[in-house]
Structure 1
Amino acid sequence: MADPSVDVVEGCRLPVLRKNQDNEDEWPLAEILSVKDNPGRKLYYVHYIDFNKRLDEWVTPDRLDLKKLQFPKKEAKTPTKNGLSGSRPSSPERDVKRKAESVSLATQVTAATPVPSLPSSAEASQASVFPAIRDTPFIKSRDEHEQLTTNGTPRRLIPSQPGRKRKNCGTDEMVKVFQNNNSRCSTIYLLPGEDSQDSSDGIPTAPRMTGSLVSDRSHDDIVTRMKNIDCIELGRHRLKPWYFSPYPQELTTLPILYLCEFCLKYVKSLKCLQRHLTKCNLRHPPGNEIYRKGTISFFEIDGRKNKAYSQNLCLLAKCFLDHKTLYYDTDPFLFYVMTEYDPKGFHIVGYFSKEKESTEDYNVACILTLPPYQRRGYGKLLIEFSYELSKVEGRTGTPEKPLSDLGLLSYRSYWSQTILEILMDLKSENGERPQITINEISEITSVKKEDVISTLQYLNLINYYKGQYILTLSEEIVDGHERAMQKRHLRIDPKCLHFTPKDWSKRGKW
């Protein structure tokens, strides 16, 4: 039992009992974000350190390990020039360090959920000939290659110093595929080409903070760190929100928030919802249906013409997207809602939004598959559809960064399968070895060149041997790819897409 004499306050840290994925007890370290005085006993809202915020929850005192309680540290205060108390004065060294850390955080795209690496038999069968290189820029010399290994173990390459030139592997290098008739392994050579002026080493640049749910950590206070909606009823599903969403405050105290599954209007009671349904004539999202195959349909919604629906969609999406905060100006965005049809209507499965005009070639601003439909292939279908639109538009695209942990997993999986599908389908012509460039891969798939290169690095295919860049498709990678494609039953059929891109630059204010 918790000791009532111990005063657990906001900011304290201590181990908290929870169940893991195997339904076993564990005591991870957690931070107290809020304390609620309920009649009879207190409740504590905790955030598990190094865990995703969607696992945050209210706990009872008996789940707290008070023996290891850590009280919040008080920051040292020093007088300022005006004689008033304040934080200690900063030093030039601390300012430089803080600036470097902020830049590092701004440019990282990491997953909160650990991402398993794809196994490769190249590390085992060809380790002595082709040293493995993971998540590193392209190497140009043997000296740089030796910097990558310590006792034969690959390590991350230290970034180049300012003023030091490093020759990147250009995007027009010829990729030659040598097929081995006695094995399913393939070796792809990346031949050095002209110096590329663009930064195509797979390192993400600092993300531009725009989107229908624009990322803005300046509002990341104690209120937005806590879930404020207990439950949402959407059609035949009841959803437990993962994160904060700025619904009207008077609705956050309700046990259940009711949403119309067709127009996404929110109401405070089931009776209000039933009364609304007698007036709501929608049985599908507003906008144009631009794709239908079987029971799957996609609707294109203009954020200016259907502002109420778009804002309600963003409110719902914010419940399951942590790295975004709500952005009410939906005019510059298009929303593509995927639905599943049954006799009662078109039920929302997920959506993605994109800017009408993007100077950075973003083809997705926010993307979400609702929890009841996750792990069923719908997320990858949304991603595939976004690239099909890019193909029709005749351009390459990339999602806005940073990606959520689940979004990063989905995109990495899609990029890997799409690129491996291209490489494995290459065939020789006139008896010559098949060849393809990174630019051609990008043009065929509409995946931006930087994403193509970073995916090859993530798959650990890029190696360096005798002054050449090579890619090795091992038998294990080929088998793993074929098994993954057999499970991928949902695919976009371009013949079912009826989409005409618009030139928004000539439409004034859209």
Structure 2
Amino acid sequence: MVEPDVKGDAKVPEKRRAKELKELKEGCKLRVNRFRSERTEWTPAEILSIRDCGDRWTEKKQFYIHYVDFNKRLDEWVDQDRLDLSSVEFPAQPKDSKKASNNHSHQNGHTHPPARKSQKRKASRVEEISDENVDEEKRPRSTGSMVQNPHDDITTRIKNFEWLELGRYRLQPWYFSPYPQQLCKLGKIYLCEYCLCFMKCLTSLKNHLRKCRMRCPPGNEIYRDKDPKEKDKGICIFELDGRKHKTYAQNLCLLAKCFLDHKTLYYDTDPFLFYVMCEYDMYGAHIVGYFSKEKESAEDYNVACILTLPSYQRRGFGRLLIEFSYELSKIEKKQGTPEKPLSDLGLLSYRSYWTQTIMEILVELMKEEEEERSKISINEICERTRIHWKDVQSTLLHHKMIDWYRGSYVLAIDKKEVDTYHKNAQKAQLRINPKNIQWTPKDWTKRLGRN
């Protein structure tokens, strides 16, 4: 990327720069310095909103920008001195309706690129099933709690407050969340870490904690695993009904929306069950993350949305939540899959879990010397892991472990994949102990029919 001429830009007269700043509007594209310090990295960005932040004597503006080809969680307000005014591109005039509609359908995945021709039969066979899985992963959601709306309102694209205090952590939201507007205007929201009620100031939170009797999520505790190093600490998981525990479930959804881009259901929690993972100690159970699932899913979804709070990420809790969801599927004797498409972080977490779980079975199989046990099918892998066959297939394709050999598909494991598995297996990982799960599946078909 060509660095902007900062020295030349500094010589631009103040009046000229002020005029150029006034001409900027929503939709303009330009380069922005991603860092507030002396370090510079000029990145293409788009202006989404503009606000005045000066006083009665000085004119000063801030610009809410989206970095092109970056996730929306990195969107932020920047000062005008971080803009490269020599690279401004104003939004183009709208084209005729036919061209615009064609472009819109192409951007939303309604048109497909022409199929690539391959001379080799083996490559075309594998590519065929690969394309099917890619389409499945990228298709926008039309139902469930994570519906994707291609026409996002501009207000929902802008983070509406700066900080969120939850227990001993101060979190910076990644996305818009529909908390009350009077609280968002203050810039900071305080949450009770036990009931997730929101307050406007620290004094209100302290007064609330004196009266709040909750020290853990509502519902039934269905899992508890003690920390082997400390007696009074460990992991616990609670199951709660979105219909019976509506207030907590709604507060949980508002919190989750701060870190999940496409979550749309905040108040209609009745059709969902919520599984809240906590770290417990002598003071109570502190929320780590959660996943929700539909009480009755026609598409075999075992997770509707899943979240590990940023303060607990990169510590293995996300994998632990995924593993727990599949342990419940094993008890239900069903193949499970999460709602798709997954977020970028969600896809990384799930693909890591799928890879490790599948490789665990294949590596054990390779150790067997008997010829009868040296074969396994995708259906057998699904039966052992309860991972949906489409997810097993997409994982094998991603790692290029499916090959076409003598008229049928075979699993071809590269030595690098085995070495990677052994390296990851040696790392200390949190695991679910199935013996500690106290849970019995319910027949929600009859219950929902009566309600």
State whether TM-score is above 0.5.
yes
User: Paired residues, what number?
Assistant: 420
Q: Give the Å deviation of 1:100.
A: 5.5
**Greater relative CO (CA pairs within 8 A, separation 6+):** 1
2:157 corresponds, among 225, 248, 252, to 225
Q: Using the alignment, how far apart are the partners of 1:463 and 1:214 within structure 2?
A: 34
Paired residue secondary structure (1:278): helix
Which letter does structure 2 place at the counterpart of 1:460?
K
Correspondence for 1:498: 438
Greater helix content: 2
Q: Using the alignment, how far apart are the partners of 1:270 and 1:101 within structure 2?
A: 45
Q: Using the alignment, how far apart are the partners of 2:108 and 2:385 within structure 1?
A: 34
Q: Using the alignment, how far apart are the partners of 2:423 and 2:292 within structure 1?
A: 31
- Structure 1 pair 210/328, CA: closer, same or farther in 2 (3 Å)? farther
Residues 44-94 of structure 1: per-residue CA shift (max 9 Å, x gap): 111111111111111111110001111122225xxxxxxxxxxx3437xx7
Correspondence for 2:47: 32
2:98 corresponds, among 69, 72, 90, to 90
Correspondence for 1:272: 204
Q: Give the Å deviation of 1:145.
A: 3.2
Paired residue secondary structure (1:16): strand
Correspondence for 1:417: 356
Identity %: 56
- Note if contact 1:202-1:450 (Cα within 8 Å) is conserved in structure 2: no
1:443 equivalenced with 2:383 (yes/no): yes
1:69 equivalenced with 2:88 (yes/no): yes
Q: Using the alignment, how far apart are the partners of 1:142 and 1:433 within structure 2?
A: 35
Q: Using the alignment, how far apart are the partners of 2:107 and 2:78 within structure 1?
A: 34
Q: Give the Å deviation of 1:440.
A: 0.9
Q: Give the Å deviation of 1:461.
A: 1.1
- Structure 1 pair 275/23, CA: closer, same or farther in 2 (3 Å)? same
Correspondence for 1:145: 122
Correspondence for 1:392: 331
Q: Using the alignment, how far apart are the partners of 1:72 and 1:89 within structure 2?
A: 17
- Note if contact 1:300-1:337 (Cα within 8 Å) is conserved in structure 2: yes
Paired residue secondary structure (1:321): coil
Matches within 5 A, 1:447-458: 447-458=387-398
Q: Unpaired segments of 5 or more residues in structure 2?
A: 1-9, 227-233
Q: Using the alignment, how far apart are the partners of 2:269 and 2:123 within structure 1?
A: 51
Q: Give the Å deviation of 1:475.
A: 2.4
1:408 equivalenced with 2:408 (yes/no): no
Q: Give the Å deviation of 1:18.
A: 1.2
Q: Using the alignment, how far apart are the partners of 1:342 and 1:245 within structure 2?
A: 30
Q: Using the alignment, how far apart are the partners of 1:50 and 1:366 within structure 2?
A: 24
Correspondence for 1:255: 187
Q: Give the Å deviation of 1:351.
A: 0.2
Q: Using the alignment, how far apart are the partners of 1:270 and 1:430 within structure 2?
A: 66
Q: Using the alignment, how far apart are the partners of 1:200 and 1:292 within structure 2?
A: 40
Q: Unpaired segments of 5 or more residues in structure 1?
A: 77-87, 109-135, 149-155, 160-167, 170-198
Q: Using the alignment, how far apart are the partners of 2:375 and 2:160 within structure 1?
A: 55
Paired residue secondary structure (2:108): helix
Q: Give the Å deviation of 1:227.
A: 0.4
- Structure 1 pair 274/475, CA: closer, same or farther in 2 (3 Å)? same
- Structure 1 pair 236/146, CA: closer, same or farther in 2 (3 Å)? closer
Correspondence for 2:29: 13
Which letter does structure 1 place at the counterpart of 2:121?
E
- Structure 1 pair 407/509, CA: closer, same or farther in 2 (3 Å)? farther
2:250 corresponds, among 311, 319, 324, to 311
- Structure 1 pair 431/439, CA: closer, same or farther in 2 (3 Å)? closer
Which letter does structure 1 place at the counterpart of 2:50?
V
Matches within 5 A, 1:172-183: none
- Structure 1 pair 208/60, CA: closer, same or farther in 2 (3 Å)? closer
